[in-house]
Amino acid sequence: MNDRTQARVEWVNYHHLLYFWVVAREGGLVPAGKVLLLSHPTLSAQIHALEDHLGEKLFTKVGRKLALTDVGRVVFRYADEIFTLGREMIDTVKGRSTGQPVRLDVGVVDVVPKLVVRRLLQPALSLPEPVKIVCCEGSYEKLLADLALHTLDIVIADSPVPSGSSVRAFNHLLGETGVTLFGARSLASTFKRGFPQSLDGAPMVLPLESTALRRALNQWFDRQGVKPRVVAEIEDSALIKVFGADGVGIFAAPAVVQREVCRQYGVSVVGHAHEVRERFYAVSVERRLKHPAVVAISDVARQELFATDRPRA
């Protein structure tokens, strides 16, 4: 055996590695086949080829499901990093080589207030290098799936990734804020006096019971000893404000956008619930944020946007 043969580099088949990565990420051959548009037997054969090449089993059967072995988990972590870096490379080269703006794909969980999203994304548009933001809205579950497929750079959410989620993602806390209660001017003038006890029996437009904000508000109402009259429960945060502006009821919104809410919807402040905290997260597949626009969003959110609204004693 000559020196050149001894120094030969042992290469991995990246097609086999990609198929393994998608199967591990999607949780099985069938869902991975739908993503890759490949048959169950084809995927199985490709993964067996990778196992033969590595000399290790990557999956083991647990009932009807596939589970990663210890070696499989190690390979998956490397594969995750490899394909994440590959996508970043393509995005960077495409964005810069053509002279086009750098693209930032953002998913917004549908319950996050749009005025907060607008404030969060502003720093990305203020960078020296042009940035094109592409936003889509949806359920947390759907957006996490898109994040796992690398069709999104980040997801903006009002809560961390749910425990037990099959998507490997990281929570980056952007900041937190108290809550302000608003109403049309006629309502605000009536219920501002004696706040918060004045809220007992007051008409309110609230988010759905399933949301973090609603649960926090319910607990706050209990502590104040008040029971508002719920006239509407609405999922979309913008629609809540429209109902509130029409005088249907009092509504809550993050204190950090208090001025914008009053100006845009023509409402007045009824009172403040500083103990009710809303938190906002940038969720990514990266442990450390790398996209320059996402880094700018995170830095400004922590140092400026939420810096003036710290929790109160």
* Distance separating the N- and C-terminal Cα atoms of the chain: 74
Least reliable range by pLDDT among 30-39, 214-223, 250-259:
30-39
Which ranges of 149-269 would DSSP assign to H, the alpha helix?
Answer: 185-191, 212-224, 237-245, 258-265
* 2 pLDDT higher than 60: no
How far, in Å, CA of 82 to CA of 163, rounded? Answer: 25
Summarised one tens digit per residue, pLDDT across range 38-75 is 888 888 898 899 998 888 999 988 877 888 999 988 99
Calculated CA dihedral for residues 123, 125, 126, 128, nearest 10 degrees: 130
CB contact at 8 A, 285 and 144: no
Mean pLDDT of the chain: 87
What was the pLDDT predicted at 96?
Answer: 55
Least reliable range by pLDDT among 59-68, 243-252, 255-264:
59-68
* 239 pLDDT higher than 80: yes
Residue at 218: amino acid letter: N
Closest of 214, 221, 265, 270 to residue 244, by C-alpha:
265
- Residue 277's region, left for phi above 0, alpha for psi from -120 to 50, else beta, is beta
Residue at 83: amino acid letter: F
Residue at 7: amino acid letter: A
Percent of the chain predicted with pLDDT > 70: 91
**SS3 of 248, please?**
coil
CA atoms 201, 204, 210, 216: torsion sign: negative
Give me the residue spans of the domains in the chain.
Answer: 3-79, 101-313
One DSSP character per residue, 13-79 reads -HHHHHHHHHHHHHTSHHHHHHHHT--HHHHHHHHHHHHHHHTS--EEEETTEEEE-HHHHHHHHHH
- Residue 248's region, left for phi above 0, alpha for psi from -120 to 50, else beta, is alpha
CB contact at 8 A, 231 and 248: yes
What was the pLDDT predicted at 193?
Answer: 94
What was the pLDDT predicted at 311?
Answer: 45
One fold for 3-79 and 101-313: no
Q: Is the pTM of this model over 0.75?
A: no
Q: Indicate the pLDDT class of residue 281, thresholds 50, 70 and 90.
A: very high
Summarised one tens digit per residue, pLDDT across range 75-132 is 988 888 888 777 767 666 655 555 578 889 999 998 899 999 999 999 999 988 889 9
How far, in Å, CA of 271 to CA of 294, rounded? Answer: 33
Indicate the CATH number for domain 101-313.
Answer: 3.40.190.290
What was the pLDDT predicted at 298?
Answer: 93
* The CATH number of domain 3-79 is 1.10.10.10: yes
What was the pLDDT predicted at 183?
Answer: 97
What was the pLDDT predicted at 43?
Answer: 86
Element (H, E) at 88: helix 70-97
Sequence-separated (6 or more) residues with CB below 8 Å from residue 236: 110, 111
Least reliable range by pLDDT among 1-10, 72-81, 143-152, 155-164:
1-10
What was the pLDDT predicted at 93?
Answer: 64
